[in-house]
Amino acid sequence: MKASEVMADLRSRFPGETEYLQAVEEVLGSIEEVYNEYPEFEKYNLVERLCLPDRILSFRVSWVDDQGRVRNNMGYRVQHSNAIGPYKGGIRFHASVNQSILKFLAFEQTFKNALTTLAMGGAKGGSDFSPRGKSDMEVMRFCQAFVAELWRQLGPDTDVPAGDIGVGAREVGYMFGMYKKMSREFTGTFTGKGLDFGGSLIRPEATGYGNVYFLEQMLATRGLTLEGKRVAISGSGNVATYTAKKLLELGAKVVTMSDSNGTIYVPDGLTTEQLDYIFELKNLYRGRISEFAEHYPCEYYPNTRPWKLASFDIAMPSATQNELDGSDAEALLAGGCIAVSEGANMPSTPEAVKAFIDACILYAPGKAANAGGVSVSGLEMAQNAQKLSWTAEEVDRQLRRIMSDIHAQCERYGRVDDEYINYVKGANTAGFMKVARAMMAQGIL
């Protein structure tokens, strides 16, 4: 099947899986050119095989809340591809989780992981369970029930989960503990673990730091630096906060942060002390960003996203999918935005992506810009396999090298002319070619 036929076929087979179809369409739109150079791909129906996940596990997760009531959620693991390494990708706990969202994330993860230069296939899992408002004990019981079902499908050389929205060190700790108990083995089967039991230094920081390293590389292609730039960030979770931390270190101004209830706007930029408060608010108290505006009086916009609040030099969407639409993109461009670097997975809608590409600004899709997180997960797997821990300096050095290698791959496949690199085309083509070559070599599986 040709790429365009695959898309029509998937639409008719999976109607309503909007996020999955959106992610596939973006990749297929980018690879047409290289695909046509390799007629053998069509003979082996490679594109269709690559778009369909290897398998999807779905299961009921029953647990008991603090009031003694039995609660039931759905759990999933989408194992998309292990063509270049064991299945690898995060676990998301959020009320919105469904099969379409996890299929899109596992599909994206496959190409992202291919870009990291490390041996990792693509997967994603999760549940419609929301940790927000739950006690620690409820979260623990849920995590244990989730892993009691999933553990047989996992293993250090089989499938290695990690965190994502709603899953941080606490949840990974509980899931790893249960996995260890069920499998009776202490292996590196989860990443993002606590430092005392096999976690890697810099893993919590890695997605945000990596995104800023990638952004620096993009700016450098136009002779620019971060010094003094006004940056709008969405989200205030793991990715958003460490993005802000690195930006402050490098002299940029972080003027917005948000959560699902609203956005704070700090025109002069957050201070280090204010950012420390956000870390504490989010990690220790699991509070809301509105509480920041009570503590440090500033503008707070309920139920509003950052993009139209002011003009910004740079936007770094770091909350969730489809959180920046066509009209947001127009507003950013009208305000003189020069770069968008995605911390979240697929935060920009197709209309927004088109607007950024048409305007030839520096635009990095999540699968390139946020690959630092899974890259350091890959380094955690390497350390666990060696039964060694590397220093923070060593991990950070490797993270920088990987982000710069990803930038080089985007440039190789995405350079349009002396002035412009299309990072969407570059990232999709580089990721696709690596996975495609591996699949061709391994036969029809």
In the list 26, 164, 216, 313, the residue contacting ligand NDP (rule: CB under 6 A) is 164
Asked if residue 377 binds ligand 2IT (CB under 6 A), the reply is yes
Q: Give the total of residues touching ligand NDP (CB under 6 A).
A: 26
Asked if residue 259 binds ligand NDP (CB under 6 A), the reply is yes
In the list 30, 236, 349, 428, the residue contacting ligand NDP (rule: CB under 6 A) is 236
Nearer Cβ to ligand NDP (168/188):
168
Nearer Cβ to ligand 2IT (274/383):
383
Partner touching 89 among ligand 2IT, ligand NDP, none, CB below 5 to 8 Å by kind: ligand 2IT
In the list 88, 141, 282, 288, the residue contacting ligand 2IT (rule: CB under 6 A) is 88
In the list 318, 349, 409, 429, the residue contacting ligand NDP (rule: CB under 6 A) is 318
- How far apart, in Å, are the Cα atoms of 434 and each of 112, 115, 235? 11, 8, 32
Q: x/- site string to ligand 2IT, residues 271 to 310, per CB under 6 A?
A: ----------------------------------------
Asked if residue 162 binds ligand 2IT (CB under 6 A), the reply is yes
Asked if residue 237 binds ligand NDP (CB under 6 A), the reply is yes
Q: x/- site string to ligand NDP, residues 65 to 104, per CB under 6 A?
A: -----------------------------x-x--------
Nearer Cβ to ligand 2IT (127/377):
377
Among 88, 103, 112, 124, which one carries the catalytic annotation? 124
Nearer Cβ to ligand 2IT (306/378):
378
Q: Which stretch binds ligand 2IT (CB under 6 A): 168-176, 355-363, 371-379, 397-405?
A: 371-379
Active site residue 124: yes
Residues labelled catalytic:
124
Chain positions contacting ligand 2IT, by CB under 6 A: 88-90, 109, 112, 162, 164, 191, 345, 373-374, 377
